[in-house]
Amino acid sequence: MAKTIVVTSGKGGVGKTTTSASFAAGLALRGHKTAVIDFDIGLRNLDLILGCERRVVYDFVNVINGEAKLNQALIKDKRLENLYILPASQTRDKDALTLDGVSKVLHDLQHEFECEYIVCDSPAGIEKGALMALYFADEAIVVTNPEVSSVRDSDRILGILAAKSRRAVEELEPVKEHLLVARYDSRRVAIGEMLSLEDIRGILGIPILGVIPESPGVLQASNIGTPIILDDENPAAQAYSDMVDRFLGEELPLRFLEPEKRGLLKRLFGS
Amino acid sequence: MSSRREFAMHDHSSSDRSRSGGEQPALTIRGASVTLQVAHLADADLARIEAELAAKVSQAAGLFRDAAIVIDLQEVQHLDLDLRSLARLFRTQGLIPVGVRNGSAAHHAAAQAAGLALLQGGRRVERAPAPAPPETPPPAPAPAAPPPAAPRSRLVTQPVRSGQRAFNAAGDLIVVASVNTGAEVLAAGNVHVYGPLRGRAMAGVNGDTQARILTTCMQAELVAIAGVYRSIESDLPDEVREKPAQVFLEGDRLFIEPLAAAEEPQRKKP
């Protein structure tokens, strides 16, 4: 039984697509057949972050409209044999999505392509695209940044998950919620410029799946089209790896919560 | 006061969820309860109504902006009233009049001609006179008249999140989780929040002036009892901020006080 996981946030720019790409890549890296779908119709980005933008021929909307078969639109990742990407359409808008169409794509990914995990990369906002992305979710990864407006919007999206998802509408077991705190700058948290993990936990009250430290490497990775999780040296990549392991049931302590202690050599020679 | 904030509940039991051949219907109609503000007119003088309405709206613009409102005509049944101008007057203030109720037959005909709906309910029976404000703190909220049936309380165990609203039109609302910023909790009776109350809380929404708001951690954005509200923009005093507190009404004044067990509450202006 495949699991459908929505990566959502309410607010834009918090790291949904970065998280979707690294989370899906992490699952694939661990041998699970995984598809990641870009629901941001009209503002397609996931293909860029995964470095397959030049291989997009057909897209999600083409499949929904019956203009292409799923296997024509699905892009197999060049680095990871278990990773498949279903890109968004850049020329349509969110109204092109229908519940029946999305439902059929999810069904086919599970039954024809035997995907174990389907990651739905939600657009920002609480409108149609976001509702479509979260509707069929079994689990939700809510991405938030340590600042007030982002946390407020995450709270809003958690309310929508509890009211408007398929599991809520059909009165099934509720969507399992996970919190991912991204762009966590421990130095700014320490001097009180950003919300602490405790503040965020206190407001949202859902379990924390991971904390991703702010890192310049994330931007570089997306510029060259590699999911950050594949960069073993980067702290954000290690934090994403931990998050994937936790999602799969491992118990790991949170890392990168304290500002890095600068060693003697670094202090002498600068960095 | 010619208009008073009140909340009404509309219940429709009809529902149409028929589906044909597994295809998604273009339209479903479901009954839903919607909370609306009700303006009770006590005078048909449009100039007076306009002045008082403008004053109210300016006090809490955020609360009234684009809010749907029902106009209750019970107290002006015998008076002539230009409903078209009345509706325009509400719209000028940024409200959206959606219907009238409890008017005369002539009012109702004029309302329909003006595109307003006719709504039922909310006919007020003569209320028992409100108990005189006691000199000493009231020992307990003494019910003015025993209700015919025990009011039903409603329990909420999940956090009430931004954009969500928990409402009990029949009695108390008890929340054993947080009420987050941007959320609303409303009850005809008392509102109890065993957790941080960071959003808006409104008790006694049908006019019960004895209703209270009680919380273990007061951080509300707005509190209201029986339509008397206070938005909390500046910080609350230390003795109630993020502490157990209660909100109650005495006369026209709202009091926010610490909820300290076995201690005589002191009269303090919030």
Nearest CA in chain A to B178: A203
pTM: 0.67
Taking the C-alpha atoms of residue B165 and residue A163, their distance in angstroms, rounded to an integer, is 11
B contact residues 131-170, partner A, Cβ 8 Å cutoff: 158-164
Confidence of residue B16 (pLDDT cuts 50, 70, 90): very low
Q: How far apart are CA A62 and CA B183, in angstroms?
A: 39
pLDDT value at position B139? 45
Contact assignment for A205 to B164 by CB distance below 8 Å: no
Q: Is the pLDDT of residue B244 over 60?
A: yes
Residue B241 contacts residue B221 (beta carbons within 8 Å): no
Strands (E), chain A: 3-8, 34-38, 75-76, 83-86, 117-121, 139-144, 176-184, 208-213
CB-based contact B110:B97 (threshold 8 Å):
no
Q: How far is B61 from chain A (nearest CA, A)?
A: 22
- What pLDDT is stored for residue B129 in this prediction? 43
- What b/e sequence results for A226-244 when a residue is b if at least 16 CB atoms lie within 10 Å of its CB, and e otherwise? bbbbbbeebbbbbbbbbbb
* Summary mean pLDDT of chain B: 79
The mean per-residue pLDDT over the stretch B153-181 comes to 95
d(CA B161, CA A168): 15
Pick from B158, B182, B198: CB nearest A162: B158
**What are A164-196's pLDDT values in tens digits?**
999 999 999 999 999 999 999 999 999 999 999
Preferred mutation among A98, A107, A155, A203 to probe B, highest tally of B CBs within 10 A: A155
- Which of the two residues, A173 and B91, has the higher pLDDT score? A173
| pLDDT in the model for residue B150 | 65
For residue B118, the cross-strand partners are: B100
Question: Stretch B40-69: mean pLDDT, rounded?
Answer: 83
Q: Of the candidates A82, A72, A79, A140, which has an alpha carbon nearest to the alpha carbon of residue A108?
A: A72
- pLDDT in the model for residue B36: 77
Touching check for B28 and chain A: CB below 8 Å?
no
Residue B160 has pLDDT above 60, yes or no: yes
Which residue of B180, B216, B219 to mutate against A (max A Cβ within 10 Å)? B180
Which residue from B minimizes the CA distance to A174?
B158
Q: Which of B24, B178, B181 is opposite residue A99, by nearest beta carbon? A: B24
Contacts of residue B163 in chain A, CB cutoff 8 Å? 156, 159-160
Which among A100, A156, A202 has the least Cβ separation from residue B161?
A156
| 169-198 in chain B: CB under 8 A from chain A | 177-178, 180-183, 196, 198
The Cα of A70 is separated from the nearest Cα of chain B by a number of Å equal to: 22
Alpha helix ranges (H) inside A183-259:
186-190, 197-204, 216-224, 235-247
Nearest to B202 by CA among B4, B57, B67, B5: B5
Strand-pair partners of A71 = none
Looking at this protein, which amino acid is placed at residue A218?
A: V
Q: Quote ipTM for the complex.
A: 0.74
Instruction: Report the residue of chain B nearest A163, measured CA to CA.
Output: B164
pLDDT surpassing 90 at residue A8? yes
DSSP state letters, B101-124: ES--HHHHHHHHHTTPEEE---PP
pLDDT at B74: 86
Q: What is the pLDDT of residues B201-236, one digit of tens each?
A: 999 999 999 999 999 999 999 999 999 999 888 778
Q: Mutate which of B30, B157, B162, B165 to disrupt the A interface (most A C-beta within 10 Å)?
A: B162
Structure tokens that stand for A232 in this block = 């073993």
d(CA B215, CA B220): 10
pLDDT score at B182: 92
**Contact between chains at B178 and A203 (C-beta distance less than 8 A):** yes
Residues in B touching A155 (Cβ below 8 Å): 161-162, 180-182
Does the structure show a pLDDT above 50 at A57? yes
A98-114: per-residue pLDDT in tens?
Answer: 999 999 999 999 999 99
Test the A interface: residue of B17, B30, B161, B219 with most A CBs within 10 Å: B161
How far apart (Å, rounded) are the C-alpha atoms in residues A236 and A249?
20
Interface contact flag, B196 A202, Cβ < 8 Å: yes
For residue A154, CA distances in Å to A16, A239, A255 come to: 12, 21, 22
Q: Is B186 left (phi over 0), alpha (psi -120 to 50) or beta?
A: beta
Residue in chain B closest to A158 (alpha carbons) equals: B161
**How many other CB atoms are there within 10 angstroms of residue B31's CB atom?**
11
pLDDT in tens, A203-230: 999 999 999 999 999 999 999 999 999 9
